[in-house]
Amino acid sequence: MKKIEQIYGVKTAYITEGEGLDMILLHGWGQNKEMMQAIFDHYKDRYRVFAIDFPGFG
């Protein structure tokens, strides 16, 4: 599920799916949350996975 939240006054886009312990995926420089899709899909059946876009990316 794609979401946008205001965090400390900054709009932050992220996707989340799954249940269980939280796992947060952080992309590298010049990438965005979609670059993490293969890892996201691998773990979403065992964890509640979050993939966020850093401000200015995605």
* pLDDT tens digits, 26-55: 888 887 778 888 999 999 999 999 998 877
Q: Please state, in angstroms and as integers, the Cα–Cα distance from residue 32 to each residue in 1, 12, 26, 54, following that order.
A: 16, 12, 9, 8
**% helix, strand, coil for the chain, step of 5:** 20, 40, 40
Q: What is the pTM of this model?
A: 0.78
Determine the Cα–Cα distance for residues 35 and 20; give it in Å rounded to an integer. 23
Structure confidence at residue 1 as a pLDDT band (50, 70, 90): confident
Structure tokens at 34: 């979609």
Determine the Cα–Cα distance for residues 17 and 3; give it in Å rounded to an integer. 11
